[in-house]
Amino acid sequence: MNSKRISVALAIATAIAVPAEGLRQWAYKCPAGVVTVCYGHTGSVTTGKKYTVEECKALLDADMRKAVEEVEQCQPGLPAEVLAAFADATFNIGSRVACDTRQSTAARKLKAGDYRGACEELPKWNKARVGGVLVALPGLTKRRAREREICLQGV
């Protein structure tokens, strides 16, 4: 049952990420200035290299699996849709949103079992530093809304 829940969450989270990220086979800087490639991969990116679609899919699979595992480790047993939504957010912005109960109301609500409340916190995580200033980004706003929608399906 647990492996099925994890597999379902992985598939859902990937389905959120693919349209939100889009495929870019050459490295670029995202609005926050982070060097990125493929479907939002930010670790060990080789600038000037054209990544194949297969390489991009492999990077996304590994990155999303890591995000699901991070959320599962800090918030074990979440419903698949809740896990998927927070795994995609973790993939996109880091595990603080789901795991850091000192800095994230969403993480505190997850820990307390208030899944609906945690889902409702996702839209607040739509900002990035651009030129040193924290600003809401339209792409993040749309992505957090989609995560919230899917998250609420699990409560």
Q: Are 16 and 81 in contact (CB under 8 A)?
A: no
Q: How many domains does the chain have?
A: 1
Closest by CA to 10, choosing from 74, 113, 77, 80, is 80
Which residues form the catalytic set? 21, 30
Q: What is the pLDDT of residues 100-147, one digit of tens each?
A: 999 999 999 999 999 999 999 999 999 998 889 999 999 999 999 999
Q: What is the pLDDT of residues 54-93, one digit of tens each?
A: 999 999 999 999 999 999 999 999 999 999 999 999 999 9
Question: Domain residues for 33?
Answer: 2-152
CATH number of the CATH domain containing 79: 1.10.530.40
Give residue for tokens 């609420």.
152
